[in-house]
C-alpha cells in the first residue's frame, strides 16, 4: 500500500511499516551540508528514486548501443558476459558457479560498476536510504515528520555476504540493539533494529560469496529476499524493510572441497552461469598482469618481460590440462588464476630484492622456490601421484620453460646464428677451454656494441628502445633458449652460461 504523505503520521508504527513515497510536491525540504537543494533538478535527479536494477539495465543498453563492453574488468569470457547481460536485463538474481579463482567475485564487482559512482542518501542511514522512497524506520519517520531532511552522497554499494557455516541471522538480516534498549528506547523505536549485511546492500549489489556455505535455515530467508525484496527472521518475524538490491551469489562446483549443497527452492530463484577458466594463454597472461599488486595498487608497469609471463602462465595452464599434459593427471585440485597472479607478484618482488626492476631466470630460485611459493598452497596431488608437490611444480615449470624457449629459439635467424654466437663469445671470459658469460649488467655495454647481438635482441623484443635491464633479460632468454634447444652449444652454469663452441655442429 503506497501512501503519498506530506503531513505527520498520526499512528507512527502503523505508518512506518507501510511503503512511503514522496514527490516534488509533497516532500520535505532537503539539504546537503546545510544548504537547501532541489533534488529534482538536472544535477541531482539521476541519483535518486531509481532501483539499482534500473541503473544496471540503462547502463547495459547504453553499452549495447555504443558497442562497448559493459564489463571491461573481465578478461575474455564472452559467453559468460552475454548470459550475465540477459539475466540482469530481466532483473534475475545470478548464481556464478565455477572453481576458485576464476573471476566470480570480480564479475560481481563489475556488475556493481554499472551503478552510478555516487547516489543521494539520507544522512546517517544504516542502509543508505533513498530520500524519496525510504525503507528503514528512521528515514520514514524523518521524511514523514521532519520539515527538513539532511542528505549526503554515498559511493556505489557492493556488500559481500560471506558464506560461513557459523553465519547468524543477526549478521545476515539484523537484530535488536541491546545497547539502545538500555539507553531507554522502546522496542518499536527505529533506532533499536540494527540491519545485517543483506540489508546493508540496499540500493547496490549484494554478493553472497560461497552461497552453499550459508546454513540451510538462513538460505530459506533468502527466498523472500530474492523474490519479494524483503526478509523474515528465523523466528518468523517480518522485518519491515523493503530493500532494493541486485542479488549476485557464487558457489564452487558440486563435490568441490568445502562446498555444501544449495537448497533447490533457492536455486530455482536464480539464474546459474558457469564461470570457466581462461580460454587462451593470452587471457591468462592479461589476467595475471592486470591483477598484480604493483598494477592494482600503484598503477605501475610491472616490467616483466613477455617470456617470463609466458613461462609462469604456461606452468599454471599445464597444471589444469589433464588431456594434453601428463603432469596434470597427477593433480587433483588445479591452480586458479591466482597462481598466475601471485607468480608474477613473487617474481617481481624477487627482482626488486636483487636491485632490479626486470626479472631474470635466477629470480625463480635454484629449485624454483619463488614459483613454488605461488603454487604449493593452490594445488593438491592425488594419492596415486608418483611425485611430491614440489617435484610436480618442478616438472610444470621445466615444461613451460621448454615450450617458451622453443618459440624464442625460432626468433634467432639461422643465417645469423654463428655470428650471434661468436659475438656473445667475444664478451665472455675463458673457462677451461670454453667461454663463460655471467648474466649481469656489466656485460650489457659490450653486448650492445655487437651488431648481430642487437639484431637477435630486436627480433625477440620487437621494435622500440630497451633499457639495459630489459636488454639483459632478452639476451639471457636467447642464450637459455639455445641451451634448451641446442645444448651442444650452450649450458647454464650458476647465474651464467658456458659457450662450448660451434665445432662440428650446426644451428
Which tens digits make up the pLDDT trace of 266-321? 999 999 999 999 999 999 999 999 999 999 999 999 999 999 999 999 999 999 99
Residue 313 grid cell:
602462465
The pLDDT score that the predictor gives to residue 255 is: 57
Mean pLDDT of the chain: 89
The pLDDT score that the predictor gives to residue 233 is: 62
Rounded Cα distance, 93 and 103, in Å: 17
Rounded Cα distance, 448 and 258, in Å: 55
What CATH fold (topology level) applies to the domain 2-274? Rossmann fold (3.40.50)
Parse the chain into domains and list their residue ranges.
2-274, 281-409, 414-499
The arithmetic mean of pLDDT across residues 214-240, rounded, is 78
* pTM of the predicted model as reported, rounded to 2 decimal places: 0.87
Rounded Cα distance, 440 and 295, in Å: 27
CB 439 within 8 A of CB 362: yes
pLDDT at 243 over 80: yes
CB 302 within 8 A of CB 344: yes
Burial 440-459, CB ≥16 within 10 A → b, else e: eeebbeebeebebbbebbeb
Q: Right CATH number for 281-409 from 2.60.40.3140, 3.40.640.10, 1.10.8.80, 2.130.10.10?
A: 1.10.8.80
Above pLDDT 70, what percent of the chain?
91
> Within the chain, how many helices (H) and strands (E) appear?
20, 21
Higher pLDDT, 84 or 99: 84
Amino acid at each position: 500500500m503506497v501512501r503519498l504523505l506530506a503531513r505527520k503520521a498520526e499512528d507512527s508504527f502503523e505508518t512506518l511499516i507501510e511503503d512511503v513515497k514522496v514527490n516534488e510536491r509533497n516532500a520535505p525540504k532537503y539539504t546537503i551540508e546545510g544548504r537547501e537543494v532541489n533534488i529534482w533538478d538536472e544535477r541531482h535527479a539521476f541519483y535518486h528514486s531509481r532501483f539499482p536494477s534500473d541503473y544496471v539495465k540503462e547502463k547495459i543498453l547504453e553499452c549495447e548501443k555504443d558497442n562497448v563492453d559493459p564489463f571491461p574488468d573481465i578478461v575474455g569470457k564472452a559467453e559468460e558476459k552475454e548470459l550475465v547481460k540477459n539475466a540482469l536485463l530481466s532483473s534475475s538474481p545470478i548464481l556464478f558457479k565455477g572453481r576458485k579463482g576464476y573471476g566470480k567475485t570480480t564479475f560481481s564487482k563489475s556488475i556493481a560498476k554499472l551503478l552510478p559512482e555516487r547516489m543521494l542518501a539520507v544522512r546517517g542511514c544504516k542502509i543508505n536510504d533513498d530520500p524519496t522512497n525510504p525503507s528503514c524506520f528512521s528515514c520514514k519517520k524523518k521524511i514523514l515528520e521532519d520539515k527538513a531532511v539532511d542528505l549526503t552522497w554515498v559511493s556505489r554499494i557492493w556488500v559481500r555476504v560471506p558464506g560461513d557455516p557459523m553465519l547468524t541471522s543477526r549478521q545476515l538480516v539484523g537484530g535488536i540493539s541491546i545497547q539502545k534498549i538500555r539507553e531507554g528506547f522502546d522496542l518499536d523505536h527505529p533506532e533499536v533494529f540494527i540491519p545485517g549485511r543483506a540489508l546493508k546492500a540496499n540500493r547496490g549489489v549484494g554478493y553472497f560469496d560461497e552461497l552453499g556455505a550459508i546454513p540451510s535455515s538462513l538460505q530459506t530467508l533468502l527466498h523472500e529476499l530474492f523474490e519479494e525484496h524483503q526478509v523474515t527472521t528465523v523466528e518468523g518475524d517480518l522485518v519491515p524493510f523493503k530493500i532494493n538490491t541486485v542479488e549476485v551469489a557464487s558457489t564452487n562446483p558440486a563435490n568441490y572441497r568445502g562446498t555444501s549443497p544449495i537448497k533447490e527452492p533457492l536455486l530455482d530463484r536464480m539464474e546459474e552461469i558457469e564461470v570457466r577458466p581462461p580460454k587462451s594463454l593470452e587471457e591468462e597472461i592479461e589476467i595475471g598482469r592486470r591483477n598484480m599488486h604493483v598494477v592494482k595498487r600503484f598503477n605501475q608497469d610491472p616490467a616483466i618481460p613477455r617470456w617470463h609471463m609466458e613461462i609462469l602462465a604456461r606452468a599454471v595452464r599445464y597444471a589444469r590440462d589433464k588431456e594434453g599434459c601428463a603432469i596434470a593427471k597427477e593433480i587433483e585440485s588445479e591452480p586458479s588464476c591466482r597462481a598466475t597472479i601471485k607468480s608474477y607478484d613473487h617474481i617481481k618482488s624477487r627482482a626488486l630484492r636483487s636491485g632490479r626492476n626486470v626479472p631474470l631466470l635466477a629470480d625463480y630460485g635454484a629449485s624454483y622456490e619463488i614459483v613454488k611459493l605461488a603454487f604449493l598452497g593452490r594445488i593438491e596431488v592425488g594419492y596415486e601421484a608418483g611425485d611430491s608437490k614440489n617435484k610436480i611444480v618442478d616438472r610444470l615449470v621445466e615444461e613451460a620453460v621448454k615450450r617458451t624457449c622453443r618459440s624464442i629459439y625460432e626468433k634467432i635467424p639461422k643465417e645469423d646464428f654463428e655470428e650471434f654466437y661468436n659475438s656473445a663469445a667475444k664478451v665472455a671470459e675463458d673457462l677451461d677451454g670454453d667461454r663463460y658469460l655471467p648474466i649481469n649488467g656489466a656485460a650489457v655495454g659490450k653486448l650492445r656494441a655487437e651488431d648481430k647481438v642487437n639484431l637477435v635482441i630486436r627480433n625477440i623484443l620487437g621494435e622500440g628502445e630497451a633499457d639495459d635491464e630489459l636488454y639483459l633479460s632478452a639476451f639471457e632468454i636467447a642464450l637459455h633458449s639455445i641451451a634448451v634447444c641446442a645444448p651442444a652449444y650452450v649450458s647454464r652454469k650458476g647465474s651464467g652460461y658456458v659457450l662450448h663452441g660451434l665445432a662440428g655442429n650446426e644451428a
